[in-house]
């Protein structure tokens, strides 16, 4: 299967890069759920003071989408919702979900849609999912990332967004179909991801390994598997944060739901979505095999960090206008 990663990000890196660098540097407190077996990061609680930065991120995506459209590339933004909203029933009474955080996702979707950007409303799918309050929750209890139940549900939301939008569907239809099958494992398995536990004092816990259900996606026939090589123009790209990393099984979720082979790129959190997209556009993977459809996954909490966000390493910062100028040049 086609995979490309900018910056090395294996399993250990996936665990380490779940939180924004500015948050990690400040030794972010972990919110302990009311039953002591759920952990959350306080960084997911939105602040009204971030409204201007959030708008700058939205404006950047609207402008980038127009550039992609002019190039004949369709884009759907898949916003990963905050765990504190999806599993708010597990928050402690001392830290309830505030109204601003609760409504931020919907407000972002409305603003992007108004600017002509297609969005896969993962939040809506998660809030409606029976898994949200089941023993197969959408996020891991001890980690910031979604469970494989969550990543599969996100793939379903992306499928709905693509098939329900004529422009996105036309782009998908222009790519070769590949038959995939999916099967859930019969039993739950221990999960290695537990980044929030690692932020707790050594005396906290104990927190035994979390168990969750995983799934496996395979091609329908071995003969088909031989058809796709690293140099094939598969036509679909998934690019995003550590939520997009293969360890969450998100790329395979999209493969199965769209019945397409794809190139998947996950980006370390210190780079962010803006540098990551520019890196991809400057790479041979784009120059020689441009996609028809891009699924661009961005965590909701990252909307407070536009290109000029000062918490990132200077290598990954851009003046907002300069980032757009670089995008324009890359997509000429």
Residue 50 falls inside a structural domain: yes
Measure Cα distances from 221 to 173, 178, 262, 297 in Å.
Answer: 21, 10, 17, 29
Can you read off the two tokens belonging to residue 328?
Answer: 């324009």
CA atoms of 82 and 60, how far apart (whole Å):
21
Q: Spell out the per-residue pLDDT of the chain, length 332, in tens.
A: 455 544 433 333 333 344 543 444 345 479 999 887 899 999 999 999 999 999 999 999 999 999 999 999 999 999 999 999 999 999 999 999 999 999 999 999 999 999 999 999 999 999 999 999 999 999 999 999 999 999 999 999 999 999 999 999 999 999 999 999 999 999 999 999 999 999 998 888 889 999 999 999 998 875 454 444 444 568 999 999 999 999 999 999 999 999 999 999 999 888 999 999 999 999 999 999 999 999 999 999 999 999 999 989 999 999 999 999 999 999 98
Number of domains in the chain: 1
Beta strands at 236-240 and 263-266: parallel, antiparallel or unpaired: parallel
The strand pairing partners of 216, in sequence order, are: 183
Residue 28 falls inside a structural domain: yes
Residue 85 falls inside a structural domain: yes
CA-angle at 117, arms to 148 and 291, nearest 5°: 70
pTM to 2 decimal places: 0.90
Residue 131 falls inside a structural domain: yes
Residue 123 falls inside a structural domain: yes
Residue 92 falls inside a structural domain: yes
Residue 5 falls inside a structural domain: no
By residue range, what is the domain housing residue 24? 11-330
Are 246 and 275 in contact, with CB atoms under 8 Å apart?
no
Q: Which residues contact 89 (CB under 8 A, 6 or more apart)?
A: 133
Residue 6 falls inside a structural domain: no
């Amino acid at each position: 299967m086609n995979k490309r990663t900018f910056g090395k990000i294996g399993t250990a890196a996936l665990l380490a890069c779940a939180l924004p660098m500015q948050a990690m540097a400040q030794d972010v407190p972990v919110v302990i759920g009311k039953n002591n077996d759920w952990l959350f990061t306080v960084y997911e609680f939105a602040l009204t003071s971030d409204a201007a930065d959030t708008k700058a991120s939205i404006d950047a995506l609207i402008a980038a989408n127009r550039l992609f459209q002019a190039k004949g590339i369709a884009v759907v933004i898949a916003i990963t919702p905050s765990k504190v909203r999806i599993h708010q029933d597990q928050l402690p009474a001392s830290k309830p979900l505030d109204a601003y955080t609760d409504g931020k996702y919907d407000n972002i979707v409305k603003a992007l849609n108004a600017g002509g950007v297609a969005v896969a409303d993962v939040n809506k799918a998660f809030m409606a999912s029976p898994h949200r309050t089941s023993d197969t929750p959408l996020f891991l209890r001890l980690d910031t990332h979604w469970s494989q139940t969550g990543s599969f549900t996100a793939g379903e939301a992306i499928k709905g967004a693509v098939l329900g939008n004529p422009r996105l569907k036309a782009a998908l239809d222009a790519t070769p179909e590949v038959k995939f099958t999916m099967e859930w494992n019969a039993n739950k398995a221990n999960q290695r991801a537990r980044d929030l536990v690692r932020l707790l004092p050594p005396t906290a816990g104990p927190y035994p390994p979390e168990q969750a259900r995983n799934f496996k996606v395979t091609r329908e026939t071995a003969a088909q598997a031989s058809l796709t090589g690293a140099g094939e123009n598969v036509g679909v790209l998934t690019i995003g944060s550590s939520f997009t990393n293969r360890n969450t099984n998100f790329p395979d979720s999209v493969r199965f739901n769209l019945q397409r082979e794809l190139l998947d790129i996950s980006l370390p959190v210190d780079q962010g979505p803006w540098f990551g997209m520019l890196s991809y556009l400057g790479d041979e993977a784009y120059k020689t095999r441009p996609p028809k459809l891009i699924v661009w996954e961005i965590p909701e909490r990252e909307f407070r960090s536009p290109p000029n966000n000062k918490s990132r390493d200077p290598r990954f910062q851009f003046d907002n206008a300069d980032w757009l100028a670089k995008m324009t040049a890359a997509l000429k």
